[in-house]
Structures are given as C-alpha cells and as structure tokens.
Amino acid sequence: MFRTITAVSLTFLLVFVTVNALGAEKTYNLTTIDFPNATATNIGGGINNRGDVVGSYTDSGNKTHGFLLSDGVFTTIDVPGAANTSARGINARGDIVGSYQITPTKPGGDVHGFLLRDGVLTTFDYPGHLNTIPQRISAKGIIVGCYHDADTMGSMHGMQLTAAGFSASAVPASMHNGTSPGGKRIAGHYTDMMNHTHGYLIKKGVFNSFDVPGSVFTQAWDMNPSGEIVGVYTDAANITHGFLRAGEDYRSIDFPGATRTRAFGINAHGDVVGTYMDAANRVHGFLAEVAHKKR
C-alpha cells in the first residue's frame, strides 16, 4: 500500500490580503496547511478546481512523502520502494503527478516520474536521461516538467508528455512548470549563461522570457486557463516573495509574518498555494483562497 489516510483539522487564520491585478481587486482567505507531526510541509504547486491540494512533507526521520489534501483529509502518497516521494500536480479529474527517488545518493541523480490515476500508479522516465521531474498535469492529461542528467544547466530541458509521446524545449537549464489545458501555453523558468534565472511563457511555440520588475531572480511555477501566472521572485534586498502575473501586471504575495513566501500553484478560480517560512525557520504550506468567488 502506498496511500495512508489521516484525518486532520486545518487552522484558518482569518486573515485577508488584497491583490490588485489588472484593476480588479482580489481578497483572499489565508490558511496554513501543516501535515500532522511533520517537520516541514511543502505545497509544491498542485491545486485543482475542486480545491484538492497536493504536496510533500518531511517526517521526523527526515523522509519525504507526497500527500493529497481533499475535504480536510490528508492522504500520504509513497511510491513503493522509494526513499522519497513528492506529489507535484493534480488536475480536475484527480490525476496526480510527481517524482520519487530510490537511491538519493546515486551519482548523477535518481529522480523518476509517476502518475497516479484512479488508484493505479505508473512510473516513467524521459528516454535516455537520468532524472525526470513532472511538475503539472493539465485537464486534458498533458504532463509538463523537466529532465536532466548530472547537472541542472546544459543537460536540463523543459519537457512535455502527451498521448503522442515526449517532447522537449531547446532552451537549456529550463523547466516547464505550468500549462494551459491543451498545452498551447506553457509557463516555466530558465537560467541564462550569466547564471540569472528568469520566468518564461511559451505561447503557440513562441518563447518569451520575463522578470518581475526590480527582481534579481524570477521563477514562474504555474498558470491557470485564463493566463494568470504565479511564481517566486527575489528582490534587491534578497527577500523572497511570491508573485501573481496577470497580463503584464505583477503583484507580490507575502504571507503575513513570514520571512519568505513562495507561490507555486494556481487554479482556474485564482486560488493560490505555496509555502512560507516562519521566524523559527519552519516551512509551512498555505492556501490563499479567493473570497466571494463563484464555484
């Protein structure tokens, strides 16, 4: 068995924040998400339109497990025989993608992809490469992520898996992290030859990079069907924030009282998930749910 169900109660902070995107004010209800007894909880970007969330947590033995949070109930996801498992993306029908490691200390790396669909676990690897990291799965079942070998620069490329098979970006040091339902738009990030990291949006095959204004580091981590993109940026003072990009408009996402905030996922309603670090350097997941939205 690779799934264990644990019932929990979430802590609702009853905090409201406002983000102005393209002139439209958004108010969010913020919720901290902590897996019971975990030393760290990481929401790596997965939230679907039902509000189901996937991520990973670290136990007291320093082992990483994937999880699904649905209707207030956590389900642990462990690939059989794996040393570590991370759940990274979930689509509208509940298909989950993620990665796992059998031997974390193996030279060159040992990261593989998995798909969990209707209780059936399937593993896969990009042909000819050591590491495969799926990040998201669209409503139509398109999987995006990256592959790489011993390094994460020249050998790393954003990848896409459809019914027709694998394909990859020609841009080195790139990672596809979010996609539209049909795969015609892809958001991600790459590192250039000067070791600067930028976000990108691929639309109908055209690659366009972008940076949060004033940032020294930008990563795009997900996008929703309307084209809103969320991600992470670092400012000139070396402080890490989440961001929301709507068109060409950018707004910061900062969890109240956090020393660092990272936004990793967004669904069609505009709900955002990510992680934040508190003053004691503990990592928590969070959900920023749009208030008064229509379901």
CA distance 99 to 109: 12
Residue 125's contacts (CB-CB under 8 Å, 6 or more residues apart) are 112, 113, 132
The pair of structure tokens assigned to 78 is 């462990």
Predicted confidence at residue 97, as pLDDT, reads: 97
**What are the structural domain ranges in the chain?**
3-290
Predicted confidence at residue 20, as pLDDT, reads: 39
Q: What is the pLDDT of residues 26-51, one digit of tens each?
A: 788 899 999 999 999 999 878 999 99
* Mean pLDDT of the 20-25 span: 46
CATH topology of domain 3-290: Neuraminidase (2.120.10)
Q: What is the pLDDT of residues 89-142, one digit of tens each?
A: 999 999 999 999 999 888 888 999 999 999 999 999 999 999 999 999 999 999
Question: By the 8 A CB rule, do 213 and 220 touch?
Answer: no
